[in-house]
Structure 1
């Protein structure tokens, strides 16, 4: 907790400034105060937590799961074969140059307002950091250690499982810390552009009613969900990569 003390203090100061500024402007539909946002979230807790949050988390988890499988598979394939790397890597980069807001309506046209139009958007923006980071992790192994294992008679499979994979694990968890908040954002954006449920959809509905606190309440829940998920990843990372603290 001590290492987060500075962050907590800065966050509290920013909230105080926000509260004072909101009271000075005195226009709830433009800038609601943090207290009003919390009050709104609490008053709408049943519909937000029991209806819209599960819908957004479903999109997030499915899209993130697909991204993990796809990203790791592409990274391994590119690491194993240089021709595959030359063919796939530019395409992976190009997928990130097209704005998601431009593609989301197309996915809605293809898949309708079902969960899959939103899953595709979430997958599209999250598989890139996983692919690139895991690929860099697999390439980060020291050549002298590879050569040492080869002299001991290790096969390519042994080198991958006992050397490259452990080296890539920190990169994998780092990519998840990037992908998880992005997946939450991607799910919300896709719901803004076309959905019948979800926190993004609810925020958009509140905007049409000029309810500033109602717009920010789902955003608050999205932020808390992302923070909790990243904290879980940090916990799993510390439990999985114990050797990093020993070197």
Structure 2
């Protein structure tokens, strides 16, 4: 707890200082609220809109969680296949890279044309945003397996399945969690973007309505909530990482 306080006070002070400068700047330069609201205006707006904001919040949260789970599954499956099948990796790895060169904003209208306005195109967008960092991180983790341990277990008669589940996968977990933390933050952003396709509720819908009405303070409320969700996702993944790879931390301390 003491270490957390010692490490956390500097970012907290920096954030508070930023908010104070923001507040003073809006007052000194007389910036209109519709152009750039002060932090105090955003807090007041949050209190006013929170009752009708909750349905949008839970809609986005549900979409982000399920999309993240789908993206995680797809990323791990792809990484495993590419790792276990070198020829497949040589053939399809460039396509994995190319999949990230397609702008989501450009792809979104096509997904609506192909799959309609339901949940499927939204999940596809979130999956495309999430699976890549997980797949690349996991594949890198697999390839960093200790070769001496690998050959030793192979000499002892370990099968490919045993090598993967008992050596390669456990050693790849730190890399996998690095990808998961990146994907967790991407999932929230992708969920909001996907809601611009025509959803009935969600933070993306809330932001669109607020923007069209020039309610800039409401837009900032949504932005800050998205940031809080992303940080929460990141924190949950970090806690899971500490719980699941204690063996590595003990090894490093020893």
Cα RMSD of the aligned pairs, angstroms, is 1.3
1:200 alignment partner, one of 176, 198, 204: 204
Is the CA contact 1:184–1:222 (under 8 Å) kept in the aligned structure 2? yes
The aligned residue for residue 228 of structure 2 is 224
Q: Deviations over 1:97-124 (max 9, x none)?
A: 0111001111122333322221111111
Normalised TM-score (structure 1):
0.95
Does 1:160 find its partner at 2:164? yes
Shift of 1:38: 2.1
Shift of 1:187: 0.9
Distance 1:189 1:88 in 2: 28
Matches within 5 A, 1:1-247: 1=4, 2-23=6-27, 24-49=29-54, 51-247=55-251
Distance 2:178 2:138 in 1: 9
Change (3 A) 1:25 1:159: farther
User: Mean Cα displacement is larger for which, 111-120 or 72-81?
Assistant: 111-120
The count of aligned residue pairs is 246
- SS of residue matched to 2:101: coil
Unaligned runs of 5+ in 1: none
Is the CA contact 1:25–1:31 (under 8 Å) kept in the aligned structure 2? no
Normalised TM-score (structure 2):
0.93
Distance 1:232 1:98 in 2: 29
